[in-house]
Amino acid sequence: MSVWENGFLGTRGTFLSDLLVIIVILLIPLFTMGFIMARRHRGSVHRPIMLALYIAVLAYVVVYVIHVLFEGLILEFRDPGSPVYYAYWIIGLIHSFFAVGALYLGWQTVQIGRKLSKNGPNGYYFDASDRPTHAARGRLALIFFAGAALTGIIVYYLLFIW
């Protein structure tokens, strides 16, 4: 019996599955704080929050890959012929779309921010013509991240709680 087999949330999930769902839940407030700081034009606070968030998302992906390598895809449904089984596959595909999109758009947003932001006496800022580009990509990345987080939590629920 592996150390990884038993989760800590009291569900049928494994240790890494439980860890992944906790990471997602903790990333949501971080993303929200970064978004709020951007809306308030607080670039000096927004920038480190969003960089930390992107690093945390990359760490999440590493943990997920380790999870799949060590445990494989866990598909232990109580009734494989039930509608929940089919809902899992549909939501899982939607989740994959959002997750890949969030990584790609997040990377683009970080790169746009890195290239276009300037460091002034009051911290980081954008010229008036550059801000809409970064903001538009950031809003799209936010939608994809929220979609990936929500569908990820639903997948966890379908696999380990339902």
Instruction: Evaluate whether residue 9 is within a structural domain.
Output: no
Q: Tell which wins on pLDDT, 107 or 1.
A: 107
Terminal CA-CA length for the chain: 24
φ, ψ dihedrals at 120, nearest 5°? -110, -170
Instruction: Evaluate whether residue 10 is within a structural domain.
Output: no
3-state SS, residue 137: helix
3-state SS, residue 110: helix
- Residue 63: per-residue pLDDT: 82
Alpha helices for 3-160 (secondary structure H)? 15-39, 43-71, 83-116, 131-160
pTM for this predicted structure:
0.85
Number of separate domains in the chain:
1
Which residues form the domain of 136?
Answer: 15-160
Residue closest to 75 by CA, chosen among 155, 152, 147: 155
Contacts with 15 (C-beta within 8 Å, 6 or more apart), sequence order: 3, 4, 5, 6, 7, 8
pLDDT at 4 exceeding the cut of 80: no
- Predicted confidence (pLDDT) per residue in 121-162, tens digit: 877 888 888 889 999 999 999 999 999 999 999 999 988 888
Instruction: Evaluate whether residue 139 is within a structural domain.
Output: yes
Q: CA 31 from chain center: how many Å?
A: 9
Residue 155 has which token pair?
């997948």
- Residue 154: per-residue pLDDT: 95
- Residue 135: per-residue pLDDT: 92
Give the Cα separation of 147 and 160 in Å (integer): 20
Q: Residue 73's pLDDT band (boundaries 50, 70, 90)?
A: confident
- Predicted confidence (pLDDT) per residue in 29-70, tens digit: 998 999 999 999 898 899 999 999 988 888 888 888 887 888
φ, ψ dihedrals at 45, nearest 5°? -95, -40
- Residue 133: per-residue pLDDT: 92
Written as one letter, the residue type at 48 is P
